[in-house]
């Protein structure tokens, strides 16, 4: 029995090959699971808010809870000035959460375990926040790189360090999500492989580990979506309220 634990991350084409010039635009399993996540979020919100009753049904309760959860998160970290960015952060959070959670189902594919997906999400946040900062504060936004109370002699060094720190935001944001999802799923697969190779006698211990790891992975799946969203809020806060 040789099962490659990395095999689950393979992207393959579904349906016909579509080429636009040199760019391969074929529909892959990654695109399929992204579409499934987006559709599940939309249908949850659509059916959850269809029949608005005073005593909520389960669907309505989940929808309302996710709304208040994100609204509270934005309010706690950014204050009321970020209310207008609620739709963006809400869709980001729900999309990542559903991608992670759908990836936990057997035979499915975890979209967020590919760095290009998470990096694009982080780059959208990073570029968006930078644009918001410059629109809101103009050239004064560059003061973000100049901390107060630093001697002039040290300024050139500090500014470079601050710029590196600023540029590392999308990298840390994307690597965190990608690494957690990939490491977790690889680990699950490795322990699953142990169950098979150790057989009926020794396989019970790794089986127990697999069960425990599944619980941990569900926690991580939620936590990473939460961390991604809350860091987006923090970066937004830096751009909106410019002070250290």
Partner 1 sequence: MKDLKEITTRLEIAKKNIKKTEDNNKGSNAAAFGKALKISTELVAAVFVGTIIGFLLDSWFDTKPLLIICFFFMGVAAGILNVFKSAKRMHEKL
Closest distance of CB 238 from partner 1, Å: 10
Structure tokens at 43: 């249908």
Closest distance of CB 69 from partner 1, Å: 14
34 versus 181: smaller Cβ distance to partner 1: 181
Whose CA is closest to 68, among 96, 44, 91, 90? Answer: 90
Task: Please list, residue by residue across 202-226, b when 16 or more beta carbons sit within 10 angstroms of its beta carbon and e when fewer do.
Answer: eeeebeebbeebeeebeebbeebbb
199 versus 215: smaller Cβ distance to partner 1: 215
Structure tokens at 175: 């690597």
Closest distance of CB 243 from partner 1, Å: 13
Residues that bind partner 1 (CB under 8 A): 157, 160-162, 164-165, 167-169, 171-172, 175-176, 179-180, 219, 223-224, 226-227, 231, 234
Closest distance of CB 197 from partner 1, Å: 30
Structure tokens at 216: 């941990």
23 versus 164: smaller Cβ distance to partner 1: 164
Dihedral over alpha carbons 202, 203, 204, 210 (to 10 degrees): 140
33 versus 209: smaller Cβ distance to partner 1: 209
């Amino acid at each position: 029995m040789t099962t490659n634990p990395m095999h689950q991350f393979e992207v393959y084409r579904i349906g016909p090959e579509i080429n636009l010039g040199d760019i391969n635009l074929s529909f892959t399993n990654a695109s399929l699971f992204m579409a499934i996540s987006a559709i599940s979020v939309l249908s949850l919100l659509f059916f959850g808010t269809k029949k608005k009753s005073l005593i909520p049904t389960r669907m309505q309760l989940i929808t309302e809870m996710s709304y208040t959860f994100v609204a509270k998160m934005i309010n706690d970290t950014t204050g009321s000035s970020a209310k207008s960015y609620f739709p963006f952060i809400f869709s980001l959070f729900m999309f990542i959460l559903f991608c992670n959670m759908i990836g936990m189902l057997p035979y499915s594919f975890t979209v967020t375990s590919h760095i290009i997906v998470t990096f694009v999400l982080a780059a959208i946040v990073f570029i968006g926040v930078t644009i918001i900062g410059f629109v809101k504060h103009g050239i004064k936004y560059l003061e973000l790189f100049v901390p107060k109370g630093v001697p002039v002699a040290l300024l050139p060094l500090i500014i470079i360090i601050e710029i590196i720190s600023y540029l590392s935001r999308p990298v840390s944001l994307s690597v965190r999500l990608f690494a957690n999802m990939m490491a977790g799923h690889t680990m699950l697969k490795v322990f699953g492989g142990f169950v098979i190779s150790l057989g009926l006698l020794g396989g019970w211990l790794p089986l127990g580990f697999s069960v425990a790891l599944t619980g941990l992975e569900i926690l991580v799946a939620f936590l990473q979506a939460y961390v991604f969203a809350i860091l987006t809020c923090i970066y937004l806060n830096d751009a909106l309220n410019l002070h250290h």
